[in-house]
Structures are given as structure tokens and as C-alpha cells.
Amino acid sequence: MSIVTVDFDGTLYQHNSVMTMIKAGRKAFTLKQWVFIVMNFLRGSVNRTRGHKMDYRVILLKSFFHQMKGKNIDEMHTFFESITNTGHQSINYDLVSRITKHLENGDHVIILSGALQPFLEEFIRQLDLQADVIGTSLLYDERKICTGEIGRIIHGIDKVDRLKLWIKENNASGESIWAYADSESDIPLLEFADKAVVVRPSNTMKEIAESKGWEIFYN
């Protein structure tokens, strides 16, 4: 039995989940709200160039979900459901088949990604995968009302830290670890794993994988 971690963007999902949500927001927001999102993004981008370290994805997500402030959890679920209903063409179904084989072998599968937790949960539900999900939190207050804030983006070494926490909480130490991922930011997780699989890599990532003897999965 093994622990199998699977990245989402660029690995299980052959698209950018942030841009998918932005497209879905076209109908959800007014022109005034979109002006706020764009202006806030530009302001954050300017600050970043002045030395403030913040990922552009974080800036965009924070600006976007600020407009969701005040919506209840059911409304947010409907929003994420609408995204996933139009995103299945971007799923890497060859990788889904491989994940299914892991599940049939009794392995624990974890979707481990910087994408938003509710977005990941809805995709996994629609794919009917019996997997745990570790993603970036969308924050709610005690009344289950969206605050418009998101948690810390799970990225780079954070994935390793969150996986270690999952292993501790689930008394799963000693099990071999697989990692499926595609990008250079996932190198800490791939190096932590006993079995690293690089999915549809860029030329640079392919060279890294070959130098380290990692499996390359093209489908």
C-alpha cells in the first residue's frame, strides 16, 4: 500500500484552474466588479515589482474572491459546480486511469495542489475518485458566509509540509510515497517521494527528470 500524491494544474488538469475560474466569473460579476478586480490586480502587480514578494496568482485570486464576499456556502458550491461542468475536456483521463489502478491496489490517493480546495473537491466528486484533497482554503465565517479571503497558497515546499502533516494525522508513516507532478515548483515534493513521476514535462523539466532518473508520463 502506498500514498499517491497528484498535482492538479498541468498534471491532472491540463489547464490553469485560476483562468478557468476567471472565465466563469464573466457572468457572475458586474462591470464595476470587474473594474475592481483589474485595478486591484494591477495595483498588486506594481507593488510586486517594487520588491513586495507576492505571486501573481495570489494577487488575482484575492482580487477575484473579494467579490464573492457575503455569498453563502451553497452559492459558492453552485459556482464551483458550474466551473467543473465546463472543464472536463481539460482533464488528463489517461492519468485518471492510472490513479484508478492505484485505488484498486488499495493505495491512498491525495490530490495535492495550490488550487482552491472546493474547486478540487468538486472535480474529484464528478470524476468519482475516492481521493483526499489538500488545496488552498477559501475562508468562511462561523455562519458559513464567504469572507472573500483565501488561505496560504500551497506551493513548493509547502506541499511537502502538508503531506507530512497528513501522514502524521492518518498514522501512515512507513508507507511508500508516489508523486505525480509537472513543474519545477514541484521538485521538493518529487524529491521527497520514493517514486517520482513527471507528467507532460516542459523541456527543462524533462531534462531534470532524466538527470534524476524519474519516470516521465506522456500518456
For residue 115, report the phi and psi dihedrals to the nearest 5 degrees.
-65, 160
Q: For residue 49, what pLDDT is reported? A: 46
Closest CA to 162 of 148, 177, 147, 149: 177
Transcribe the chain into DSSP letters: -EEEEE-TBTTTBSS-HHHHHHHHHHHHS-HHHHHHHHHHHHHHHHHHHTT----HHHHHHHHHHHTTTT-BHHHHHHHHHHHHHT-GGGB-HHHHHHHHHHHHTT-EEEEEEEEEHHHHHHHHHHHT---EEEEEPEEE-TTSBEEEEE-----THHHHHHHHHHHHHTT-TTSEEEEEE-SGGGHHHHHHSSEEEEES--HHHHHHHHHHT-EEE--
pTM: 0.87
**Rounded CA gap, 158 and 138, in Å?**
17
Task: Report the domain count for the chain.
Answer: 1
- Mean pLDDT, residues 139-156 taken together: 92
| CA distances in angstroms from 26 to 20, 44, 111, 150, listed in the order given | 10, 21, 27, 20
Domain hosting 172: range is 2-217
Q: What percent of the chain has pLDDT over 90?
A: 59
Q: For residue 18, what pLDDT is reported? A: 77
- Summarize pLDDT for 121-143 with one digit per residue, the tens: 999 998 999 999 999 999 999 99
Q: For residue 45, what pLDDT is reported? A: 61
- Summarize pLDDT for 173-202 with one digit per residue, the tens: 888 999 999 999 999 999 999 999 999 999
Number of residues assigned to the chain? 219
Q: For residue 50, what pLDDT is reported? A: 44
106 or 35: which carries more pLDDT confidence? 106
- Summarize pLDDT for 117-126 with one digit per residue, the tens: 999 999 999 8
Q: What percent of the chain has pLDDT over 70?
A: 92
Paired with 132 in beta bridges are 110
**Rounded CA gap, 204 and 201, in Å?**
8
CATH of residue 82's domain is 3.40.50.1000
- Mean pLDDT, residues 141-164 taken together: 93
